[in-house]
Amino acid sequence: MEEVFAGFTAVGYRHFIMYAIGGVLIWLAVKKEYEPMLLLPIGFGAILTNLPLSFAVGTAQEPGFLRVLLDAGIMTELFPILIFIAVGAMIDFGPLFKNPLMIFFGAAAQLGIFATVLLAVALGFELKVAAAIGIIGAADGPTSIYVAKRFAVQYLGPISVAAYSYMSLVPIIQPPVIRLLTTKKERTMRMEYREEPVPRRLKILFPILVTMISGFVAPISVPLVGSLMFGNLIRESGVLERLSQTAQNELAYLVTLLLGITIGSTMSAEAFLRRETLLILGMGLLAFAFDTAGGVLFAKLLNLFLPRDRRVNPMIGACGISAFPMSARVIQRMAQEEERGNIILMQAVGANVAGQLGSIVAGGMVLALVPLLAG
């Protein structure tokens, strides 16, 4: 009889806090439609893992399905790699080729990574852990998981949740920062877009060359860069259309679903409700704000040196984060709200694609340099 009520007797107030957090994530997914493919499974996974004596988690001797997914998909880095293949198949680098200037926004908008690393060190975190926290600013969930697994596996849950939650909340985080740093006149700037064909040869050579260069410069980054570029090569080859569509749809949906519920399973009350978790969530939010500010301020600086007819709308700089294509959509919507008929979507997509590249380059730099600096 005691076994029937074991769950009721083992539950504590911390579990109810986690149920509430899981419920909020599900509410944001269903009611607000903030990246439901991510937040809904994360929220449900958080509830599952905090059910007392849950067989979904199991034990080391008899693992449940959540532990199996964690060991097979996260600890082996399989899920992040598969996600990158799917994302690579979705990305069209054409807008970036047509306006190479946008590559600089992909670099400038990584400011949040390095600013947050310094802040984390100042708050007492060791360098490797600080680097894993800072990579939240990459606005790239798979990169955050990959780096956290290498440098701070004990904080994998909070870092993953922060990265994916704030990616979902880009429509809330970015607009206030952009409005704070720009004027009405700047936000209504129009940009001319010229439709020019991109040679197929360039589209095919680009992922191959990027992978090779990253392998020579930072070999540790090859799994990230290589999987992204492999997905893009499938897309651009022109001979694997069905496989490209499968990667963009079935593969992306299935792996995102499994990744989400697995991340949620790391949110146990014992591991999540700690002072460090609150600090990580706070610094993650600041990282996204610093990213946005870095991109916008760089655009304003760049405009000082560009001819009047080639100046960029500073809001484009905010698209340099890796949250693809969410950030580009947010900026286009803001442009329409500021002035009806102002279309800057293609330029925003170009900067957003550059941000995807910038995030994995930054992740590679962190993976390569931090062990050297940490000794």
Instruction: Please check whether residue 300 lies inside any domain of the structure.
Output: yes
Give the model's confidence band at 4: pLDDT under 50 very low, under 70 low, under 90 confident, else very high.
Answer: low
| pLDDT exceeds 90 at position 9 | no
Q: Using one digit for the tens of pLDDT, what is the confidence trace for 328-350?
A: 889 999 999 988 888 888 888 88
> Two tokens at 209?
């060359």
Residues 52-60, mean pLDDT to the nearest whole number? 78
Residues 210-238, mean pLDDT to the nearest whole number? 90
Q: What is the pLDDT of residue 142?
A: 87
| pLDDT exceeds 50 at position 136 | yes
Q: Using one digit for the tens of pLDDT, what is the confidence trace for 246-304?
A: 999 999 999 999 999 998 998 888 888 888 998 999 999 999 999 999 999 999 999 99
pLDDT: is 105 or 374 the higher one?
105
Q: How far apart (Å, rounded) are the C-alpha atoms in residues 48 and 211?
A: 39
Instruction: Please check whether residue 190 lies inside any domain of the structure.
Output: no
> If you average pLDDT over each of 8-22, 248-262, 359-373, which comes out highest?
248-262
Q: What is the pLDDT of residue 177?
A: 94
Instruction: Please check whether residue 191 lies inside any domain of the structure.
Output: no
Q: Which residues of 328-344 are buried (b: 16+ CB within 10 A; e: fewer)?
A: bbbbbebbeebeeebeb
Q: Which of 35-39, 58-62, 248-252, 258-262 has the lowest mean pLDDT?
A: 58-62
Helix 141-151 / helix 156-168 crossing angle, nearest 10 deg: 170
Instruction: Please check whether residue 108 lies inside any domain of the structure.
Output: yes
Kindly state the percentage of the chain with pLDDT values over 70. Answer: 97
Q: How far apart (Å, rounded) are the C-alpha atoms in residues 19 and 13?
A: 10
Give the model's confidence band at 1: pLDDT under 50 very low, under 70 low, under 90 confident, else very high.
Answer: very low
Q: What is the pLDDT of residue 195?
A: 74
Number of domains in the chain: 1
| Inter-residue contact 174 to 154 (CB < 8 Å) | no
The domain of 41 spans 6-185+196-374
- Identity of the amino acid at 206: F
| pLDDT exceeds 80 at position 10 | no
Q: What is the pLDDT of residue 105?
A: 87
Average pLDDT, the chain: 88
Q: Using one digit for the tens of pLDDT, what is the confidence trace for 76-98?
A: 889 999 999 999 999 888 888 88
Q: What is the pLDDT of residue 375?
A: 66
Instruction: Please check whether residue 255 lies inside any domain of the structure.
Output: yes
Q: What is the pLDDT of residue 315?
A: 93
Q: How far apart (Å, rounded) are the C-alpha atoms in residues 356 and 319?
A: 10
Residues 299-311, mean pLDDT to the nearest whole number? 88
| pLDDT exceeds 50 at position 70 | yes
Q: Write the secondary structure of the chain as one string of H (helix), E (strand) and C (coil).
A: CCCCCHHHHHCCHHHHHHHHHHHHHHHHHHCCCCCHHHHHHHHHHHHHHCCCCCCCCECCCCECHHHHHHHHHHCCCHHHHHHHHHHHHHCCCHHHHHCHHHHHHHHHCCHHHHHHHHHHHHCCCCHHHHHHHHHHHHCCHHHHHHHHHHHCHHHHHHHHHHHHHHHHCHHHHHHHHHHHHCCHHHHCCCCCCCCCCCCHHHHHHHHHHHHHHHHHHCHHHHHHHHHHHHHHHHHHHCCCHHHHHHHHHHHHHHHHHHHHHHHHHCCCHHHHCCHHHHHHHHHHHHHHHHHHHHHHHHHHHHHCCCCHHHCCCHHHHHHHCCCCCHHHHHHHHHHHHHCCCCCCHHHHHHHHHHHHHHHHHHHHHHHHHHHHHHC
- Identity of the amino acid at 38: L
Q: Which of 41-45, 144-148, 203-207, 270-274 has the lowest mean pLDDT?
A: 270-274
Q: What is the pLDDT of residue 154?
A: 87
- Identity of the amino acid at 49: T
Going from the C-alpha of 265 to that of each of 41, 113, 159, 182, 204, the distances in angstroms are 10, 26, 13, 41, 39
Instruction: Please check whether residue 97 lies inside any domain of the structure.
Output: yes
Residue (of 99, 359, 92, 105) closest to 203 by Cα position? 92
Instruction: Please check whether residue 354 lies inside any domain of the structure.
Output: yes
Instruction: Please check whether residue 162 lies inside any domain of the structure.
Output: yes
In the numeric block, the tokens 């955050």 are attached to 144
Q: What CATH number is associated with residue 353? A: 1.20.1530
